[in-house]
């Protein structure tokens, strides 16, 4: 049986770099990411794309190009003056194709927009949101529009899922492979639906597997230890911001020779001596 992968941020970073060096240009991967977002959403009406300064923003600018080519003229809101190299290329291209641009301070909760795309921060972010980025997240969370997050909800830690505040999305389109932080700690409370866009990244390491949430009960039977993530942290003394839950659960499973299940209200991490699995009720397998 073929499983979808769940990976760490470091594995994705190295795999992305390897793919760029040996297989596919960074600009092409960025365009594929944007195409994956476009294919996952029925873009109609008035669209806002809210961007930071890194490659996550570049995905947004490339998406703006695709939208313009398909007759939907988006409005770009920038929360930073910086650009990645490929991001700058797609930003200039989007403007040349007719994309509009508006100042973030005039967002007004994105009143009048039908779809808002969150391209502020990628999976490498950790810590506390500040300044214009925090303001942008607050504005997105004030909207009644359909909210799409590119790769991860801005504000979430890509490994741990911890956030002091993050974008509330109707849909999150993971890029390349699902990251562990999309399933842990605060993440399940910010994500309504999660899908993945395969853009052809050659993964260097196979880490964890994704299973359907309906199979979770199979791991909760005889000789299994089942606990909430809060109980897990309290029992073993781990800190949510620093703990690699998957590795810790696997170690406990091996030491105690039993299946260990750690659950949130909507997701779970499972170690069964052989593999580590992730599942969530907001992702279809």
Task: List the CATH number of the domain containing 51.
Answer: 3.40.50.10260
| Residue 184 belongs to a domain | yes
Q: What is the pTM of this model?
A: 0.94
Q: Do both 57 and 132 map to the same domain?
A: yes
Q: Do both 244 and 152 map to the same domain?
A: no
Q: Do both 193 and 215 map to the same domain?
A: no
Q: 197, 222, 244 — which closes off a domain?
A: 197
Q: Do both 261 and 181 map to the same domain?
A: no
Q: Do both 173 and 231 map to the same domain?
A: no
| Residue 3 belongs to a domain | no
Q: Do both 263 and 146 map to the same domain?
A: no
Q: Which domain holds residue 250?
A: 211-280
Task: Tell me how many domains the chain contains.
Answer: 2
Q: Do both 46 and 179 map to the same domain?
A: yes
- Tokens for 234, please give them: 């309290």
Q: Exposed/middle/buried for 181, CB within 10 Å: 0-12, 13-18, 19+?
A: buried
Q: For each of the chain's 285 residues, which pLDDT tens digit applies?
A: 578 999 999 999 999 999 999 999 999 999 999 999 999 999 999 999 999 999 999 999 999 999 999 999 999 999 998 899 999 999 999 999 999 999 999 899 899 999 999 999 998 888 899 999 999 999 999 999 999 999 999 999 999 999 999 999 999 999 999 999 999 999 999 999 999 999 999 999 999 999 999 999 999 987 899 999 999 999 999 998 888 899 999 999 999 999 999 999 999 999 998 899 999 999 988
| Residue 44 belongs to a domain | yes
Distance from C-alpha of 63 to C-alpha of 27, rounded to nearest angstrom: 12
Q: Do both 172 and 110 map to the same domain?
A: yes
Q: Do both 133 and 262 map to the same domain?
A: no
Q: Do both 231 and 122 map to the same domain?
A: no
Q: Do both 49 and 105 map to the same domain?
A: yes
Chain centre distance of CA 58:
15
Q: Do both 73 and 124 map to the same domain?
A: yes
| Residue 217 belongs to a domain | yes
CA dihedral for 108, 112, 113, 114, sign (positive or negative): positive
């Amino acid at each position: 049986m073929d499983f979808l992968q769940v990976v760490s941020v470091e594995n994705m970073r190295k795999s992305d770099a390897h793919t760029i060096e040996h297989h596919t240009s960074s600009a092409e991967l960025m365009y594929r990411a944007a195409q994956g977002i476009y294919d996952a959403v029925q873009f109609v009406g008035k669209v806002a794309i809210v961007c930071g300064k890194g490659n996550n923003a570049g995905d947004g600018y490339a998406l703006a190009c695709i939208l313009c080519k398909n007759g939907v003229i988006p409005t770009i809101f920038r929360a930073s003056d910086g650009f990645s190299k490929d991001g700058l290329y797609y930003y200039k291209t989007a403007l040349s194709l007719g994309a509009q641009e508006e100042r973030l301070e005039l967002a007004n909760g994105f009143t009048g927009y039908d779809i808002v795309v969150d391209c502020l921060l990628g999976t490498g972010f950790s810590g506390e949101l500040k300044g214009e980025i925090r303001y942008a997240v607050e504005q997105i969370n004030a909207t009644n529009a359909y909210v799409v997050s590119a790769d991860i909800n801005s504000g979430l830690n890509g490994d741990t899922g911890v956030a002091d505040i993050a974008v509330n999305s109707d849909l999150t389109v993971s890029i390349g492979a699902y990251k562990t932080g999309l399933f842990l700690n605060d993440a399940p409370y910010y994500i309504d639906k999660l899908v993945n866009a395969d853009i052809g990244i050659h993964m260097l390491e196979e880490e964890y597997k994704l299973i359907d949430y309906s199979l979770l009960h199979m791991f909760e039977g005889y000789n299994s230890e089942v606990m909430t993530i809060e109980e897990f942290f309290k029992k073993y003394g781990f800190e949510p911001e620093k703990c690699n839950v998957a590795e810790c659960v696997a170690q406990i499973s091996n030491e105690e020779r039993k299946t260990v299940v750690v659950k949130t209200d909507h997701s779970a991490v499972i170690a069964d001596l052989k593999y580590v699995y992730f599942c969530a009720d907001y992702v279809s397998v």
